[in-house]
Amino acid sequence: MTQKIIVSGGAGYIGSHTAVALQNAGFEVVVFDNLSNSKSDSLDGVMRITGVRPLFEQIDCTDTNAMRDAFARHRDAVGVIHFAALKAVGESVEKPLMYYRNNLGGLINILDAMAEFNVNNIVFSSSATVYGVPEKLPATEETPLQPATSPYGSTKVMGENIIRDTVQAKPNMRAVLLRYFNPIGAHPSGEIGELPNGIPNNLMPYITQTAAGIREHLNVFGDDYDTPDGFCVRDYIDVNDLAAAHVAALRHMLGGAQGVNVFNLGTGRGTSVMELIRAFESATGVKVPYKIAPRRAGDVPAIWADATKAERVLGWRATTALTDTLASAWRWQQKVSEKN
Ligand code: NAD
Ligand code: UDP
């Protein structure tokens, strides 16, 4: 029998790619999303790729009654992947309560509804931000967590703890906490991708928008870090690889894994900002005008993942070549530019 999965935030960037991966793996998907940072067009994109449009409930996870009603309609679900969250670090500093209310209020409602309707498996979108500035690299799942440097980061640390306490209290519940490094790229079909609101905060969409001529130049934040070339280093992971890890995580729980399991999702490779710009230029043949700008407050000089636990336990690893990921990001940008 087909197993149904509730995907909160499933109309968004990572959620829509995960909906594709789930449907291709034979799961039925129901998306819960309030479309605060996405459009339902992404679900049409999922349909063009897989032949099936996910079921869709336009609801806000912070609305307790609406969540209970939606869970009641989908009480046959076997698991939840909880993506729904606000994610702009700078905005979270300006509007902390909005972030705590949305990201933690939504999570609490989901956990309550899961208990009420006996849906016992949850995958949670966490982030490498929980490691702060790690003492040793690469970061493993055992790397000590550090106090978050933004309310957004706090919602991830707190979200992990809320889930741990809930599973502790409810032994039939299971959770996988996935700590994403830097997701980039789009589906190779060009049907779905990242749709940043306004001026992008993140490097990848800023690069593609600059290449498309929407932005005059890219500001490279800092060239004097204590890294091999002086630029910040991150672990850029293809969003389709990331999506595949969610399917592996669900199968791990549905296969009987107990308690709370934590996995880093990265490539295991560090890439500097300048290396990413150069790799983009050679993958696409398009120049990215840039200027060196001052360091951005709060940026970690370097972080990349030890992702060997996910390979060992889930049988998952990132396989997409960076060139292909960058080409997919560019294909998506061109498509978005054409439409606007
Ligand atoms: P996104 O904004 O594209 O997707 C999030 C989706 O959740 C959106 O469709 C939005 O409309 C929805 N949403 C937000 N609040 C909601 C609410 N209260 N009720 C219902 N729907 C709601 O973001 P994304 O990049 O796909 O991120 C997905 C998850 O991964 C988030 O939890 C994010 O914090 C986490 N994450 C993202 C990154 C990244 O770089 N993209 C890195 C680490 C962790
Ligand atoms: N970055 C940059 N210019 C930009 C956006 C980002 O130089 O316009 C750098 C940023 O300083 C960091 C890296 O790109 O070193 C990744 O930043 P992003 O915001 O994409 O992800 P983060 O790792 O901060 O979550």
Phi/psi at 124 (nearest 5 deg)? -115, 135
Cα–chain center distance at 36: 16
Taking only the tens place, the pLDDT of each residue in 44-59 is 999 999 999 999 999 9
- Checking if the pLDDT of 334 tops 90, the result is yes
Longest dimension (CA), the chain: 56
Ligand 1 binding pocket mutation candidate from 61, 83, 127 (most atoms within 8 A of CB): 83
Mean pLDDT, residues 316-326: 98
**CA 229 to CA 192: how far, in whole Å?**
33
Cα-to-centroid distance, 58 and ligand 1 (Å): 15
The model carries a pTM of: 0.98
Distance from residue 325's CA to the centre of ligand 2 (Å): 17
CA 3 / ligand 2 centre spacing (Å): 38
Residue 75 CA to residue 154 CA, distance in Å, equals 31
The pLDDT score that the predictor gives to residue 276 is 98
Q: Which atom of ligand 1 is nearest to the CA of 38?
A: 9
Q: Would you state the pLDDT for residue 105?
A: 98
- Which pLDDT score, from 0 to 100, does residue 237 have? 98
User: Mean of the pLDDT values across residues 254-260?
Assistant: 96
> What is the distance in angstroms between the CA of the first residue and the CA of the last residue of the chain?
42
The DSSP secondary structure of 207-247, one letter per residue, reads: HHHHHTTSSS-EEEE-S-SSSTTSS-EE-EEEHHHHHHHHH
C-alpha to C-alpha distance for 207 and 21, rounded to whole angstroms: 26
Tell me: pLDDT of 197 over 90.
no
Residue 167 is encoded by which pair of tokens? 């599973």
Q: 25-29, 239-243, 336-340: lowest mean pLDDT where?
A: 336-340
| 193-210 average pLDDT score | 95
Q: Residue 186: what pLDDT? A: 98
Answer whether residue 340 shows pLDDT above 90: no
Cβ atoms within 10 Å of 76's Cβ, excluding its own: 13
pLDDT tier, 116 (very low <50, low <70, confident <90, very high otherwise): very high
Q: Of the residues 131, 152, 206, 236, which is catalytic? A: 152
Ligand showing the shortest atom-to-Cα distance for residue 39 = 1
Mean pLDDT, rounded, for 116-126 = 98
Q: What is the pLDDT of residues 71-112, one digit of tens each?
A: 999 999 999 999 999 999 999 999 999 999 999 999 999 999
Q: Is the pLDDT of residue 150 over 90?
A: yes
Look up tokens 């070549």; give the residue: 321
87, 156, 203, best to mutate for ligand 2 pocket (most atoms within 8 Å of CB):
203
Using alpha carbons, select from 269, 298, 309 the residue that is nearest to residue 177: 309
The residue whose C-alpha atom lies closest to atom 4 belonging to ligand 2 is: 203
* pLDDT band at residue 202 using 50, 70 and 90 as cut-offs: very high
CA angle 205, 280, 90 (to 5 degrees): 25
**29 membership: H or E segment, kind and range:** strand 28-33
Instruction: Show the tokens assigned to 224.
Output: 């004097």
**Residue found by looking up tokens 């000089």 in the block:** 301
C-alpha atoms less than 13 angstroms from C-alpha of 178 in its C-beta half-sphere: 28
Specify the amino acid at residue 172: N
pLDDT of residue 182: 98
Q: What residues are in contact with ligand 1 under a 6 Å CB criterion?
A: 9, 11-15, 33-38, 60-62, 83-87, 102, 106, 125, 127, 180, 182-183
Asked if residue 279 has pLDDT above 90, the reply is yes
pLDDT tops 90 at residue 1: no
With bands split at pLDDT 50, 70 and 90, how would you rate the model's confidence at 328?
very high
Which residues contact ligand 2 via a Cβ below 6 A?
A: 182, 201-203, 206, 218-221, 232, 234, 273, 296, 299
Q: Could you tell me the pLDDT band of residue 3, with boundaries at 50, 70 and 90? A: very high
- Is 236 catalytic? The answer is no
Q: How far is CA 206 from CA 34, 211, 218, 320, 329, in A?
A: 25, 9, 7, 21, 11
